[in-house]
């Protein structure tokens, strides 16, 4: 699955159209509250401009309806922040493929950067429209995909644009190359024992991941609210815990399929008031013995200890989804114990984006794991074993 990277093509004097993920959070004053996604794109951006390329960046931000400009979804704050990080001017187009964008692309000099306005202001982006893609493709001599967070999607900028640029260089940026290396190698060629840790609220969100990983992993550890659906499937009492009653039969099937590979919690940390976790009554009970009026909010200490011992012996660990309500102590203890075990292990450790990435960062272990994915949905899709058209059609490393 190795693809040719931006570093491997000549960009001097050429225009590179790069898909980035500048979908950054903005506050009510349209100020960026977390610029991590912009900072993560800097290596690929610098690879182009430091070698004399002319760079055109395209991204989405938020979910506008494809009906034209909306200030609250404008990429202008991202362009401004990028200029600050690069310590050089970054041009901003007022549209995506129309007169202003074309004029500003034509005015680029070697080493210059231009940010196009939000792709999703155009209905053609989400529809994968070939005509919209052709207009984008006509602006550049090469295409680079550095937006892993949208690699599982078939938006125009991800699939139709590189298709329209057949015959021109089509490569991955540093970020996507790293994601592919870790995630595809973990699935395709894991060092063993290979342990997957899956949490989160719903079994339904992780069905395909659990199914796929049960066929690949040596152990799959379950936590989070979805554990209570498994508990219900085993005839346990779950009190007021979040469960998917319509997924009980599915949970039974997964238990049968998983056998000794599937590890479920043996105890649960409960509370009697989700809205006041700090002040409510709390207790630890065996799995399947949550009383009425109480709610499971975290794996218990014995489960956390057992999971930590399994993780300690692993050579590859993939983690997607927290073990409990990690944002609210003391229900962060299960997630914290698992995170600590991963950080302390010698395993190749991959944190699968979303809440897991937030947890590992919040708990201070981000620099003690091998890789933190930038795309929750994309990393989940890759763990399911999905093929990504947005990556497959790019140039192979040996091409």
Any idea which residues carry the catalytic annotation? 37, 202, 354, 377
189-228: b or e for each residue (b if 16 or more CB lie within 10 Å)? ebeebbbbbbbbbbbebbbebbbbbbebbbbbbbbbbbbb
**Cβ(360)–Cβ(320) under 8 Å?**
no
Residue 313's closest CA among 186, 177, 218?
Answer: 218
Structure token digits, residue 325: 């309500």
Rounded to whole angstroms, the Cα distance separating 102 from 91 reads 12
Rounded to whole angstroms, the Cα distance separating 334 from 301 reads 7
286: left (phi over 0), alpha (psi -120 to 50) or beta: beta
Which residues on neighbouring strands pair with residue 170, listed in sequence order?
143
Distances (CA, A) of 56 to 51, 229, 276, 369: 15, 48, 48, 33
Rounded to whole angstroms, the Cα distance separating 209 from 199 reads 11
């Amino acid at each position: 699955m190795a693809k040719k990277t931006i570093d491997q093509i000549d960009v001097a004097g050429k225009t590179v159209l790069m898909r980035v993920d500048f979908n950054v959070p903005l506050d009510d004053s349209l100020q960026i509250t977390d610029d991590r996604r912009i900072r993560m794109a800097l290596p690929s951006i610098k690879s182009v401009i430091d070698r004399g390329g002319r760079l055109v960046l395209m991204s989405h931000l938020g979910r506008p309806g494809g009906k034209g400009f909306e200030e609250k979804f404008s990429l202008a704050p991202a362009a401004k922040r990028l200029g600050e990080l690069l310590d050089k001017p970054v041009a901003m187009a007022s549209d995506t493929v129309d007169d202003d964008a074309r004029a500003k692309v034509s005015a680029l000099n070697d080493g210059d950067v231009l940010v196009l306005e939000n792709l999703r202001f155009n209905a053609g982006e989400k529809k994968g429209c070939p005509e919209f893609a052709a207009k984008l493709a006509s602006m550049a001599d090469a295409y680079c995909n550095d937006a892993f967070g949208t690699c599982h999607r078939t938006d125009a900028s991800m699939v139709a644009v590189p298709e329209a640029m057949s015959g021109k260089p089509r490569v991955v940026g540093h970020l996507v190359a790293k994601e592919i290396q870790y995630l595809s190698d973990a699935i395709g060629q894991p060092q063993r024992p290979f342990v997957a840790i899956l949490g989160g609220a719903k079994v339904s969100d992780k069905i395909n991941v659990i199914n796929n990983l049960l066929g690949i992993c040596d152990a799959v550890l379950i936590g989070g609210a979805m554990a209570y659906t498994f508990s219900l499937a085993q005839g346990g009492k779950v009190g007021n815990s979040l469960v998917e009653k319509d997924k009980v039969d599915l949970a039974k099937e997964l238990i049968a399929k998983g056998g000794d590979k599937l590890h479920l919690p043996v105890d649960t940390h409960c509370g009697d008031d989700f809205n006041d976790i700090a002040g409510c009554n709390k207790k630890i009970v065996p799995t399947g013995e949550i009383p009425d009026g109480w709610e499971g909010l975290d794996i218990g200490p014995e489960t956390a200890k057992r999971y930590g011992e399994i993780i300690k012996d692993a050579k590859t660990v993939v983690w997607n989804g927290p073990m409990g309500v990690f944002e609210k102590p003391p229900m962060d203890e299960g997630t914290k114990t698992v995170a600590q075990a991963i950080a302390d292990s010698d395993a190749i450790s991959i944190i699968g984006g979303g809440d897991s990435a937030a947890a590992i960062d919040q708990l201070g272990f981000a620099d003690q794991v091998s890789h933190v994915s930038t795309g929750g949905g994309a990393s989940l899709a890759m763990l399911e074993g999905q093929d990504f058209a947005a990556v497959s059609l790019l140039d192979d490393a040996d091409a």
